[in-house]
Amino acid sequence: MKKTAYFSLLFVAISNIIFAQSIDDTFSQKKMRKDLEVFKNIRLKANSGLYKYRSEAQIDSIYLWAEKEIDKSSTYLDFYNIICQLTDFEGSLHNDTGLPERYVKNLKRESYGYFPYPIKWIDGKWIINYENNEIPLGSEIIEINGVPISEVVLNLYKYYTTDGQNITGKRIGIRTHFSRYYRFNYGQEEKFQVSFKKHTSNLEEKKTIKSVGYSEYYKRFNNRYSKAFDQIYYVDLKADEKYKYEKIDSLTGVLTVYTFSMGNETTEEHQTYLAFLDSIFSKIKTENIKHLIVDIRQNGGGTDPNDLVTYSYLTQRNFQENKQAWISFKKVPYLKYTYTKIPRFLRPLGVGKYNKMFQEDFYLAKGNRFYQGPLSDDHKIREPNKNAFTGNSYLLISPAVASAGSLFAAMVSGNENTRVIGEETMGGYYGHNGHTPLGYILPKSKIETFFSVVNLEQDVPKKGNQIYNRGIIPDYEVSQNYEDYINQKDTQMDFVLDLIKSKATE
């Protein structure tokens, strides 16, 4: 028994040594070039969003950059960073590139090398978002290891994708994963020399602080100063926590929808949401509410048709989910690289139902594009609900708004009776790539890459303040200021309530 136990322990120890893989390990340029070729071919064949925000010349240029970058690269991390840059350059928030699980497990075991404190974007500055004895809470970061924080952050943008050339949404990723992204781009550091300014001080100070491990950073993030204010974005909400309505006064109400992840027509959760909307908007109509605040600042998307049903209570026009939608293939290409547990020789059978679905829905061939037909539910003309709100609506948005959340926000912001308050969303106004995700695994590195294949043009009017390659631009740009950050106050909600009061006195 003892010999067996010793042998088992020895086997586990040897296995950990052999199979534990670090992103800093060497990785041959030959393998990099093979995977780059596969990655590019998959994008060209399967990704309808490849040229949504970039010209062919721009895409060709960045792949030439990638090829030259490989000439200077020697590690797995070098190659991962190249693929992240390519993934981000396309401009789709549904793009994602990730490490294989064995590399992720090794990262989680790292005991040093990570910047020790969460940071947050407040008043146009990156500040320390953690109470500690080294750098005071709220201090503005000027430099880390001699590199201006603006340059540091710019180099980290590639790890968090957004629609078009939006950058406000990237701050969501950086406030969460700053330390991990820094480690990806700059490697592990024993210490960090930080230049900073305390709030209200013009004196630049410097302090050298020790790094922490992966787990310790995330422990500190989970105890960040702003947690009481922004934790709702990170919570796995229960069904009865995903939306609410509150009456502020006799003329004003607030509808908050944290997510559209409430199932589809076949689920009980969706039916419960429909009943909630019907009850609330009947009440709003009966009580003659004049001002309705619609708060979707934490809404990162969800499932159709929850977004569309909600919009039917906020519009006076007939509408459809999108004006057009298309994909760039008739059959799912490069099956041998697809992200699936189905053995390679069985994949043509397993993918059959998806190909059938694509061919039934996207049957109008125009060149190399396959468009949705007019009978698709996405093109169905929908009518306003009989209890649709007709007063003044105020839409609260933030950089966290994405996917179905940004589709909904774009449609509401196109209404004549709506004013939009907050910060630019990470999801686009005019369209996005969404609905159906595909995943692939690169053969040599096993890097995992995902993207959504349906190129959508949303049913929204053209507006002078909305830019094609950006998120939804608010009519009133309002973000949390420093004093409200310290006091955990809602700057944007206070602004909209003041706006309603000012309208009442006009």
| pTM for this predicted structure | 0.92
Question: How many distinct helices (H) and strands (E) make up the chain?
Answer: 16, 18
Tell me the pLDDT of the chain averaged across its residues: 92
Q: Does residue 268 lie in a domain region?
A: yes
pLDDT band at 404 (very low <50, low <70, confident <90, very high): very high
Cα(102)–Cα(97) distance, integer angstroms: 15
6 pLDDT above the threshold of 70: no
Does one domain contain both 398 and 465?
A: yes
pLDDT tens-digit readout, 163-193: 999 999 999 999 999 999 999 999 999 999 9
How far the first Cα of the chain sits from its last, in Å, is 87
pLDDT tens-digit readout, 282-327: 999 999 999 999 999 999 999 989 999 999 999 999 999 999 999 9
pLDDT band at 503 (very low <50, low <70, confident <90, very high): confident
Q: Does residue 16 lie in a domain region?
A: no
Domain boundary among 234, 267, 293: 234
Does one domain contain both 358 and 487?
A: yes
Does one domain contain both 230 and 93?
A: no
Domain carrying residue 88: 25-105
pLDDT band at 360 (very low <50, low <70, confident <90, very high): confident
Reference 322, options 264, 371, 288; nearest CA is 371
- Read off φ and ψ for residue 420, nearest 5 degrees: -105, 130
Does one domain contain both 311 and 401?
A: yes
399 pLDDT above the threshold of 80: yes
Average pLDDT over residues 203-229: 97
CATH number at residue 157: 2.30.42.10
**Nearest-10 crossing angle of helices 56-71, 29-46:** 170
Q: Hey, what long-range contacts does 490-497 have (CB within 8 A, 24 or more apart)?
A: 490/229, 492/297, 492/396, 492/398, 492/421, 492/422, 493/293, 493/295, 493/396, 495/421, 496/293, 496/394, 496/396, 496/421, 497/248, 497/252
| Total domains present in the chain | 3
Average pLDDT over residues 87-95: 97
Count CB neighbours of 354 within 10 A. Answer: 14
Residue found under tokens 């996917």:
403
Q: Does residue 311 lie in a domain region?
A: yes
- CB burial class (10 A; 0-12, 13-18, 19+) of residue 206? exposed
Domain boundary among 52, 83, 105: 105
CATH number at residue 365: 3.90.226.10
User: Which of left, alpha, beta for 403 (phi over 0: left; psi -120 to 50: alpha)?
Assistant: left
Does one domain contain both 44 and 162?
A: no
Q: Does residue 90 lie in a domain region?
A: yes
Q: Which two tokens stand for residue 433?
A: 């790539």
Cα(471)–Cα(462) distance, integer angstroms: 14
Q: What one-character DSSP code corresponds to residue 346? A: G
Average pLDDT over residues 87-114: 97
* DSSP states along 269-289: HHHHHHHHHHHHHHHHHHTT-
Q: Does residue 14 lie in a domain region?
A: no
Cα(506)–Cα(484) distance, integer angstroms: 28
CA distances from 387 to 288, 377, 392, 486 (A): 11, 23, 15, 41
- pLDDT for 353: 76
Q: Does residue 83 lie in a domain region?
A: yes
Does one domain contain both 410 and 490?
A: yes
